[in-house]
Amino acid sequence: MSSSDDQNPNETTDRVVAPSPFDAAPRRPAAEEVDSVAPAPRARVDDAVDESAGETAGDKLGRKKDYLEGFLKQSPAGVSGNEPGGDLYESVITALKEIYDPEIPVNIYDLGLIYGVDIDDSGHANVTMTLTTPHCPVAESMPGEVELRVGAVPGVGDAEVNLVWDPPWDPGKMSDEAKLELGML
């Protein structure tokens, strides 16, 4: 028998009860009373719209957009055409972006199927790519199409496609644009 079985249910036992935090009057934190507070300093914006000069917010946006587009169209200085950022390399990437997976409405470059593009000085392009699965219905035709499209780029002498399975493709290899197109973002 346990000790609780020995007690009579009609007997009261002595208990110690802790005071409730709700019984005490609420304490107010100490605060310093002031007559007024100085206003916060205003942010300084150097490139704000200057309406006195006749520029509207739309004009400013257009000016900045034109500047940014011009900046992004510039090729990096000192880059040959065969390297990333070069004209020939970018033309090959553009050709790859025109090839679409027949089952997914996204081009193979943004889908992450292209692992590498190397172009030597003679214009030979070597494309390393994969497919979404080895059992892909276009496994036989897609490498040939890539070879034809890349070989048709002016400046490319010939093209070779190396199909690899390692590393395997997964959705994490897709560009943000592809994920957005497929509703994954």
For the chain, what percent of residues have pLDDT higher than 70?
A: 68
pLDDT tens digit sequence for 63-96:
777 767 765 565 555 555 556 557 889 899 999 9
Q: Determine the CATH number of domain 87-181.
A: 3.30.300.130
What ranges do the domains of the chain cover? 87-181
Tell me what pLDDT residue 12 has: 62
For residue 111, which phi and psi values (nearest 5 degrees)?
Answer: -70, -15
Residue 49 predicted with pLDDT over 80:
no
Sign (positive or negative) of CA dihedral 152, 155, 161, 164 = negative
CA Rg, the chain, in Å?
A: 35
Label residue 125 by pLDDT band (50, 70, 90): very high
134 φψ region: left (φ > 0), alpha (ψ -120 to 50), beta (else): alpha
C-alpha–C-alpha distance, residues 49 and 31, integer Å: 42
156 near 123, Cβ under 8 Å? yes
Shortest CA distance to 169 belongs to which of 126, 122, 131, 124? 131
Label residue 134 by pLDDT band (50, 70, 90): confident
Q: pLDDT: is 2 or 52 the higher one?
A: 52
C-alpha–C-alpha distance, residues 49 and 1, integer Å: 87
Tell me what pLDDT residue 59 has: 77
Tell me what pLDDT residue 43 has: 61
Q: Per mean pLDDT, which range of 78-87, 98-107, 153-162 is the poorest?
A: 78-87
Residue 11 predicted with pLDDT over 70:
no
Residue 144 predicted with pLDDT over 70:
yes
**Token match 């917010």: residue?**
57
Tally Cβ neighbours within 10 Å of residue 14. Answer: 4
Position 49: which residue type? Answer: V
Helix, strand, coil shares, percent, the chain, to 5: 30, 10, 60
Torsion angle of C-alpha atoms 52, 58, 59, 62, degrees rounded to 10:
150
Residue 19 predicted with pLDDT over 80:
no
